[in-house]
Structure 1
Amino acid sequence: MRPNIRPAGSEDLGLVADLDQLCFSSGSWSAVAWAEEFSRLDQDRVILVADEGEVVGYVVLLVPSATEDPVDLLRIAVNPAERRTGIGRQLMSAALQRCAGRTVLLEVAESNESAAELYRGFGFTEISRRRGYYAGGEDAVIMRWQEDHE
């Protein structure tokens, strides 16, 4: 069954926060942070969810109103039991469709090779690094996507 990729609504707040906790544990966003993200849905946030009768994945975008400003892909996650099924690819595809004509930036932990591989598959390229950004001194790799690279 392919999930339905749809915009998140306020009813998804708890489900997305729970999935974030499952996927990122100590690195998950707080309930307050998630409430803030959802409060900005009509402003500069786009949250898409992969729904299979339950939320099995999500992606969060910061979309500035000025079209010359880049979009930031802030977070993407798929339930560990659903990984390697194409849901991450579907979420990325839907997110990038929302960003047509815009530049998209993201950061990924240097060791997260499966995520980096997904991003490279969509045409993201490394543009810089934040040395020692993550706990334990791991680098954050900054990647950029532009539609002409898709």
Structure 2
Amino acid sequence: MAAIAELDEMCFGREAWSAAAWEHEFERVTEDRVVLVADEGAVVGYAVLLVPPVEEDVVELLRIAVAPAERRTGIGGQLMTAALARCAGRTVLLEVAAGNESAIGLYGGFGFDEISRRRGYYAGGEDAVIMRWRETA
């Protein structure tokens, strides 16, 4: 858990979740909350999904991160593939900082489309881009 919190700090800085928040997140891991971890001898990436009961259609990708030294190695794609495999037949929503072009590119490559923006959502006034994925047949 400490390794995930450290990675989160490295990737998100001021927007990182605290160690206590991560502990709380892991305590809540149930059939409706899925935490995926990429481990190459050390934690190099993670994804957190909020997956409601089957009768509800929308899954939320709460968080995904890859260590800076491991980016562009396919780990982000592997995490997204594993996450989306858990979402068969459902819609997936996420939010991302408008300036995070590499993440927006990754999501777009998996078929996510921008559906709206939250103006000034992040510290410093940066917009949040809301993106949606729907499984295609």
Task: Name the TM-score, length of structure 2 as normaliser.
Answer: 0.95
1:137 lines up with 2:130 in the alignment:
no
Q: Which runs of 4+ in 1 moved over 6 A?
A: none
- RMSD, matched Cα: 1.2
SS of equivalent to 1:77 = strand
Over the matched positions of the two proteins, sequence identity in percent amounts to 72
SS of equivalent to 1:105 = strand
Shift of 1:43: 4.2
Structure 1 unaligned runs (5+)? 1-12
Q: Deviations over 1:4-47 (max 9, x none)?
A: xxxxxxxxx22211111121122110112111110111242100
Q: How does 1:1-150 map to 2 (within 5 A)?
A: 13-148=1-136
SS of equivalent to 1:148 = coil
Q: Deviations over 1:57-110 (max 9, x none)?
A: 000001111432311001110011101111101100100001111110000111
Q: Supply the AA of the counterpart residue of 1:64.
A: P
Task: Name the TM-score, length of structure 1 as normaliser.
Answer: 0.87
